[in-house]
Amino acid sequence: MGTQTLEASFERITVNDDYDDLYNPSAYHKSKGSLSTAMTLTGLATSTSAGNRMKLPLQKLQSTTTTTSTITKVHLPSQVAQHNRDQSSSAASRPSDDPSALTHVRSSIPQQPSSPKLFHLGMFEIGKPLGKGKFGRVYLAKHRSSGFICALKVLHKSELQMGKVEKQVRREIEIQSNLAHPNILRLYGHFHDAKRIFLILEFAGKGELYKHLRKEVRFPEWKAAQYIAQMAAALKYLHKKHVMHRDIKPENILVGIHGEIKISDFGWSVHAPNNRRKTMCGTLDYLPPEMIKPTGNDSFYSEKVDLWSLGVLTYEFLCGEAPFEDEPLKTQKRIVRCEMTVPGYVSAEAKDLIKKLLVVDPEKRISLEDVERHPWIIKHCVKGERATNRSAELAKMMRKSGDK
């Protein structure tokens, strides 16, 4: 898009700080095709595959950079991350502890000589609401100049302050924007106005994994194995970057348009290059023994906490509920003793993997490399196969058998 068109379209847009609900079609009369926004976006979202990384906006955005002059000077988040790493190799992705940095979340992004405005609300056409979290709403959105479909998460600064989660959000932004893996939800960029923070996220077309699990009650073994293989790949990537997620559970996993899973919600994650942490966090059902009952040297824990959670997740995928689910005190007791039984309908191979992940001593838990090589995973995962492929195959088989 040429400079003229871009500037003209920006002139027509005013960014109103006081929109309580962004999805208010009448509020968007200033932009083209406002009333049909949601439908158009939904259609586009399906055709613009979330998994097709070549279609990412950011490449297109980069070319915009070279053709526009004054209004936008857009930078690739990945370039920014790269620049960060180059500028201060260790400090860039490490969460800082200064809560005042919230209103300047972009302070982690290197200062450009001309101080360019990276993103602002007017650059996006807002579509249907995708969901509501504890601290904000998420909308389907289209980056106007590139047509790229994304999810825009809107967080109100006052709510973050009241909930005392500024640090958590800052950490989420800093960590997630430095990650790029097919099974981890991308955070392409962020911007803020006086009252809100906006996160530009990859759109996960099939929504929450938690909802799929509740609907299906339990996943069949092939599907659970494929999901766990994807989780292991994502965790391997995270741990290589010295990031522990610390809150792995179905509620924090989204599903892409091709049925691939995407770890999201890095609110509890931490960049810990020294591999040792002390803070208690996460969700009780998924907490490992070393975080529940810290004593002496054990009061430190490592990225192996995520292996325990992967065991809990495997169990929950196959059985429909977490293995230690009980009243909170009983759950804690059961976790530290690893008191759980795997139901008889679970295959011997799956049971073996669960037992190798749910090991009280973190050092004795199976490694992620060995998870990927585990017979249960090998049995159900043809290299590169995704859960939907299998669903499509099954549907085809069912259609065929129905024809007979």
Q: Indicate the annotated binding residues for ATP.
A: 134, 153, 202-204, 251-252, 265
Secondary structure of residue 187 in the 3-state scheme: strand
Binding status of residue 172 toward ligand AMP by CB under 6 A: no
Q: Which range touches ligand AMP (CB under 6 A), out of 41-49, 112-120, 202-210, 359-367?
A: 202-210
Distance CA 308, CA 318 (A): 16
Least separation in angstroms between CB 354 and ligand AMP = 26
Among 233, 254, 335, 357, binds ligand AMP (CB under 6 A): 254
Among 38, 179, 185, 243, binds ligand AMP (CB under 6 A): 185
The label of the residue with tokens 């299906």 reads 216
Return phi, psi of residue 55, to 5°: -90, 10
Binding status of residue 233 toward ligand AMP by CB under 6 A: no
Q: Which range touches ligand AMP (CB under 6 A), out of 39-47, 131-139, 230-238, 303-311?
A: 131-139
Binding status of residue 80 toward ligand AMP by CB under 6 A: no
Q: DSSP for 124-172? A: EEEEEEEEE-SSEEEEEEEETTT--EEEEEEEEHHHHHHTT-HHHHHHH
245, amino acid identity = H
Distance CA 161, CA 153 (A): 17
Binding status of residue 237 toward ligand AMP by CB under 6 A: no
Residue 1 has which token pair? 């898009």
DSSP state letter for 239:
H
Among 99, 133, 163, 273, binds ligand AMP (CB under 6 A): 133
Contact 185, 245 (CB under 8 A): no
Please give the C-alpha separations between residue 41 and each of 149, 187, 206, 301, in angstroms, as whole numbers: 7, 19, 15, 44
Please give the C-alpha separations between residue 359 and each of 246, 299, 308, 374, in angstroms, as whole numbers: 17, 17, 7, 16
Active site residue 18: no
Contact 193, 176 (CB under 8 A): no
Q: DSSP for 254-270? A: EE-TTS-EEE---TT-E
Residue 400 has which token pair? 């065929």
Among 56, 118, 201, 350, binds ligand AMP (CB under 6 A): 201
Return the number of the residue (166 or 221) whose C-beta is nearest ligand AMP.
166
Distance CA 186, CA 56 (A): 11
Among 38, 105, 121, 138, binds ligand AMP (CB under 6 A): 138
Interface map 269-288 toward ligand AMP (x if CB under 6 A): --------------------
Nearest residue to the partner ligand AMP, using Cβ: 133
Distance CA 289, CA 401 (A): 48
Among 148, 203, 219, 237, binds ligand AMP (CB under 6 A): 203
Contact 301, 249 (CB under 8 A): no
Among 184, 204, 312, 368, binds ligand AMP (CB under 6 A): 204
Return the number of the residue (9 or 183) whose C-beta is nearest ligand AMP.
183
Binding status of residue 130 toward ligand AMP by CB under 6 A: yes
Binding status of residue 215 toward ligand AMP by CB under 6 A: no
Binding status of residue 184 toward ligand AMP by CB under 6 A: no
Binding status of residue 136 toward ligand AMP by CB under 6 A: yes
72, amino acid identity = T
Least separation in angstroms between CB 177 and ligand AMP = 14
Binding status of residue 247 toward ligand AMP by CB under 6 A: no
Show binding-site residues. Answer: 134, 153, 202-204, 251-252, 265
DSSP state letter for 249:
S
Binding status of residue 25 toward ligand AMP by CB under 6 A: no
In the set 193, 247, 361, 403, the catalytic residue is 247
Among 33, 163, 207, 343, binds ligand AMP (CB under 6 A): 207
Distance CA 340, CA 162 (A): 38
Binding status of residue 208 toward ligand AMP by CB under 6 A: yes
Instruction: Tell me the catalytic residues.
Output: 247
Residues forming contacts to ligand AMP in the complex (CB under 6 A) are 130-133, 136, 138, 151, 185, 201-204, 207-208, 254, 265
